[in-house]
Amino acid sequence: MKRKIALSLACLLSLPVFAQAGKGGMPLQLRDQGAAVQPLESMNPRAVMEKYGKVVDQRVIGAGGLTAWTLEKNGRRVVLYTTPDVGVIISGVVWDAATGQNLSDQFVVRPAGLPAGAATTVPSLQPVAQPDRGALVGAYSGAVPESIKAIDSLAGIKEGKGSAADTLYVIFDPRCGYCRAAYQQTRAYVKRGFSIKWIPAMALGNQAQGVPLGATVLQAKPGQQAEMLRRVLGNKEEIATEPTKASQEALARNLEFFFAAFQNNRVEQAGVPAAFFLDKRTGKPRMMTGVSELPVIEAIFGKL
C-alpha cells in the first residue's frame, strides 16, 4: 500500500503548477511547467481591480506585501486585498501572523454615522463586467492536458455526461461548510446540463471520522450516487459506511493529489473546496478556490 501511494505521489509531483486564490477570491490561471506565461508583473493592478468596481482608495498594508483596495459599486463599498503580483484577490479578514493584530479593521466600510466597532454587512463581490461566456463553456478540439486526465481518474461521483474537457472537478470534504455551499450554488448549472465530478478527500484531518463519510459517497450504488451525494454533502447527513480497501486507497490518492496541487505551487495553506478544469479559451488547466461564491461559479460556467 505504501509503495503504491509513493508511486502515485511521484506521478502527481510531475503535474502542472496550480495557482490558487483565497476563499471567495478570484481565479488565477494555472500553467504547465515550462510553458510560456505572461509575467504577472506586466499586469496593471488598478486596471485589474476596476473590473470589480470604482477604485476609491488604495493602500499597502505592509504585512505580506498586501494592498488594500476600497471599491465602490452601485453606491456600496467593499474592501479587497491583492498580493504583490496581483495574482490573487482576497476578501475577508486579514491578520498579522506575527502579532495577531486584525489588519482589516482600519479598512472596514461603515455607513455614514455608524460608530467604529458597530457590525456591518459587507456586500458580496460581483464583477462589474459580465463574464464573456465562462471558461469551461464552448467547443474544444485540442488535446486534453495530462493533469486534467489525472484528476479525471480520481474516484468520485460525476453529475452529467460531459467529457474530461467539459467537466468541472471539485475536491471536497463532506464535513466542510464551504463545500456544501459550493454544492448548493451549482444545482442550477447541473440542471442546465453542466457536468461536475465531486471527489471526496479528508482534507480537514481526523481520518477516523471522515473516511466513513467519504466511503459512503464512493460506495454508493450507481443508481443511488446522486441521491447519496445530496444527502452527505448537500444535507450534511452523517451516514457512515465501513470503507473497503479500495475506498481507503482511493481516498488516500485523492488526498495526495489535493496536497500535491498546492505544494507544487509552494502554497502552505491548502483548502477545500478546490476546483480544477480545462480553460477552453487557452487550452490550459486551471484551479480555483472559493467555488462556494457565485462570482467564481459564474467565471467558470458563465451566468445563467
Q: Residue 136: pLDDT band by 50, 70, 90 thresholds? A: very high
- Torsion angles phi and psi, residue 38, rounded to 5: -65, 130
CATH 3.40.30.10 fits 2-37+130-301, yes or no: yes
For residues 301 and 20, what is the distance between their CA atoms, to the nearest angstrom?
Answer: 18
For residues 128 and 53, what is the distance between their CA atoms, to the nearest angstrom?
Answer: 6
- Tens of pLDDT, residues 4-34: 333 233 333 334 334 333 333 333 333 333 3
The whole-number pLDDT of residue 267 equals 58
Q: Return the closest-CA partner of residue 19 out of 220, 218, 290.
A: 290
Q: Which amino acid type is present at position 248?
A: Q
- Ordered strands of the 284-289 beta sheet: 157-159, 195-200, 167-172, 274-279, 284-289
**What sign results for the dihedral spanned by CA atoms 35, 38, 41, 45?**
negative
Q: Are 80 and 52 in contact (CB under 8 A)?
A: yes
For residues 240 and 227, what is the distance between their CA atoms, to the nearest angstrom?
Answer: 15
The whole-number pLDDT of residue 98 equals 66
- Grid-cell match 453606491, residue found: 75
Fold of the domain built from segment(s) 52-107: Nuclear Transport Factor 2; Chain: A, (3.10.450)
- Tens of pLDDT, residues 156-198: 999 999 999 999 999 999 999 999 999 999 999 999 999 999 9
The residue ranges of every structural domain in the chain are 2-37+130-301, 52-107
For residues 38 and 25, what is the distance between their CA atoms, to the nearest angstrom?
Answer: 21
User: Of 3 and 229, which is predicted with more confidence?
Assistant: 229
- Tens of pLDDT, residues 259-301: 988 877 565 678 899 999 999 988 999 888 889 988 889 999 9
Q: Are 196 and 186 in contact (CB under 8 A)?
A: yes
* H-assigned helices in the chain: 2-12, 45-49, 146-152, 177-185, 187-191, 207-218, 225-229, 245-263, 294-301
3-state secondary structure 274-297: EEEEEECCCCEEEEEECCCCHHHH
The whole-number pLDDT of residue 128 equals 38
Strands 284-289 and 274-279: antiparallel
pLDDT at residue 39 is higher than 50: no
- Grid-cell match 498586501, residue found: 66
pLDDT at residue 256 is higher than 80: yes
- Tens of pLDDT, residues 66-111: 888 888 776 667 788 888 877 778 876 677 676 666 676 565 444 3
Q: How far apart are the first and last CA of the chain?
A: 45
DSSP assignment of 227-274 equals HHHIIIIIS------PPPHHHHHHHHHHHHHHHHHHHTTT-S---S-E
